[in-house]
Structure 1
Amino acid sequence: MNYTENIERLKILLTGASTDVTITSENEAEYKRLKSELNQSAKFKTNQPKEFKICLTLQEFRREMQAKGGYAERRKYINELFYPLISDENSLLDSIEEIQQSVNFGHLNLLPQDIQQKGREMSEVYLYLYCIENSLRIFIEEIMKSQTINIPKKVQDTIDKLKRSEQESKYLPLRGNSDLFYCDFIELGKIIVGNWSIFGQYFPKQNEHWLNVMVDELYKIRCLVAHNSYVGKDERDALKVYYKSITAQLKI
């Protein structure tokens, strides 16, 4: 693993240990290994918080975090610990495993049971959308390293518009270090279709229609999530199929 991967895995381990995840002997062994490898990095040695230095085991770290409050407070505290360790790194820290460990509905117990259940189902929808969209970004970015990709004018106009808006809202975090982070499913699809002579070979039977249908369906679901609307079982099942298809097809 490289520095970024080790940092991501360490954060996952610590978040899990600080909430309701059972700590196994394998987890403890991985924690020690990660700390040993990361300590070879000057950046880690310089910026690591005191908790990493004094906690020799995940169990010790869990006890440290118990004084920080509930699960939400602990996750927030851990995020703050990692800020100096992940700055300037090209990292997608919200991986599937991390999101699954971070979702906690304990503070929603006052809500009706059906609302809690729908909330759990919608968190899963977001998880799949997030991973599919970023898989497409990573895929496009990898191809761009060896091929010249033309960005369609309408897509570039959208990117430029969002960048201008971002400059006017300084309090908001930057989307990412690539223009692709200013693109949603529709724009990403347009980039691929607009360069089909390059991307077509990676899709089923070089079928442009398959991609267009998938992107359109994903965008509709994305809009439902953006407006806090409920996504039904049929759409959720389709989303899982798209996730498996796209990751298998693009070898992600």
Structure 2
Amino acid sequence: MARDDGLKIFLMTAQLMEEDLDTVEQDLALDLGRARNASTGEAGDYYPQIEHAFRAEAKEMAPHYEVFYSLERTIRALVADSLEAADGAGWWNDPSRVSPRIKDDCEARLKKEEDTGVTLRSEDPLDFSTFGELGQIITSNWDVFGALFKSEKAVTRIMANLNTLRGPIAHCTLLAEDEVVRLRLSVRDWFRQME
């Protein structure tokens, strides 16, 4: 076999392996750290113009955002699924389950977003609740959630910690090293309450 043929076979094998890894990443929703370019889409044209320090901070904060995003989505699903199982699909409109203030505030946020003309993030008003409001819904429906958690006071404390930690994550500032530890512990505390 000629040297050029060997090189061609090597490159083709490498390309096939890359495609297989792409499939694995996509199927399992994994990031194996193989990204070829940090920029995506049209915004990538401008990404190099952003200060390197800010890009480095963003990379550092990305895992914390991912944890918080996933946790908040998990808590929203838990609230919706639990209350629907207890009361049916109309639980959102029951003032004994969701206070009129929370319901009105969430629906106002949904309407405000709708009025901007952008694609709605969701048509479910619960997706427009704040983290603090989610905590209030859980604790004010302890008859439903008490079977899932060990302690109402602990859930209130954990939700308050998470709500405080959410600020820097959601508003694009660095999370201090101590707060990274606190985030990890708060997430553990949350799931430990459900054991």
TM-score normalised to the size of structure 2? Answer: 0.67
Offset, 1:153: 1.9
Aligned ranges 1:111-122 → 2 under 5 Å? 111-112=51-52, 115-122=54-61
User: Do the aligned partners of residues 23 and 240 (structure 1) sit closer, same or farther apart at CA in structure 2, a change above 3 Å counting?
Assistant: farther
Aligned ranges 1:49-88 → 2 under 5 Å? 70=37, 72-73=39-40, 76=41
Q: Tell whether 2:24 aligns with 1:27.
A: yes
- C-alpha separation between the residues in 2 aligned to 1:24 and 1:164? 42
1:225 equivalent among 149, 153, 169: 169
Size of the aligned set, in residue pairs, is 161
8 Å CA contact 1:139–1:250 kept in 2: the answer is no
8 Å CA contact 2:165–2:179 kept in 1: the answer is yes
2:133 equivalent among 167, 187, 211: 187
Does the residue aligned with 2:146 lie in a helix, a strand or coil?
helix
Offset, 1:134: 0.4
- C-alpha separation between the residues in 2 aligned to 1:26 and 1:181? 31
8 Å CA contact 1:129–1:222 kept in 2: the answer is yes
> Unmatched 5+ residue regions in structure 1?
1-20, 35-68, 78-103
1:133 equivalent among 72, 82, 96: 72
Offset, 1:23: 3.9
Aligned ranges 1:91-170 → 2 under 5 Å? 111-112=51-52, 115-148=54-87, 149=91, 150-170=97-117
Offset, 1:243: 2.5
- Structure exhibiting the larger radius of gyration computed from Cα positions: 2
Percent identity over the alignment is: 21
- C-alpha separation between the residues in 2 aligned to 1:146 and 1:245? 25
> Unmatched 5+ residue regions in structure 2?
1-17, 29-35, 92-96
- C-alpha separation between the residues in 2 aligned to 1:166 and 1:26? 35
The corresponding residue for 2:179 is 235
8 Å CA contact 2:135–2:156 kept in 1: the answer is yes
Letter in 1 for 2:161: E
